[in-house]
Structure 1
């Protein structure tokens, strides 16, 4: 049975499939994204405010597109802040320095540990074996 949730945008009940918005709200967001993308292609250098005014898409939604890495524009430079260090960035969630540091940290953790030298097991003698008695044996 599907996990039912309420859409974060419209409150409608929907079957959850990995996103916290119903299909209709996801489609509306995609349409807004295409409108914004088309506008910044035709008006390179436009600011978030100008883009929002011209497209009727909320500034926060445009900023979310930038955080998700879906948009790039000369007018959007240094609009966001790195969530790690606070440096101004133009897209995504982390600046280049923090991204590189995170990648290095992940690499350290992901490297397999060096196997320890295992001593060879001693050869077993015939007398070292253990025998068990079955039910039928006396």
Structure 2
């Protein structure tokens, strides 16, 4: 019988799941923390968010990669003079 394991904690999980419920809830909580931080500090970069919230930069970058968060470039175009 083939068994699958949670990528986060290593606990066995059903083959139909991608992770365990405990880790999924933890990730959802961290995602909410990041969203709230960005609501209050909209121009923050991933390193600032990670340093302030304690959430790993790899997780924040994963949110960006999977489309849960998007990056916005608000910098005006600057011309070399």
Work out whether the TM-score is over 0.5: yes
Gap regions ≥5 residues in structure 2: 74-81
Give 1:55 deviation, angstroms: 1.0
Counterpart for residue 41 of structure 1: 39
- The aligned runs of 1:62-101 (5 Å cut-off) are 62-74=60-72, 77=73
- Contact 2:64 2:71 (8 Å CA) reproduced: no
Structure 1 runs (4+) deviating above 6 angstroms are none
TM-score (norm. length: structure 1): 0.48
Aligned residue-pair number: 72
The higher-RCO structure (CA 8 Å, 6+ apart) is 2
Following the alignment from structure 2 to structure 1, what is the Cα–Cα distance between the partners of residues 71 and 42?
Answer: 6
RMSD: 1.5
Counterpart for residue 117 of structure 1: none
Give 1:73 deviation, angstroms: 4.3
- The aligned runs of 1:91-130 (5 Å cut-off) are none
Please identify the structure whose Cα radius of gyration is greater: 1
Following the alignment from structure 1 to structure 2, what is the Cα–Cα distance between the partners of residues 17 and 41?
Answer: 34
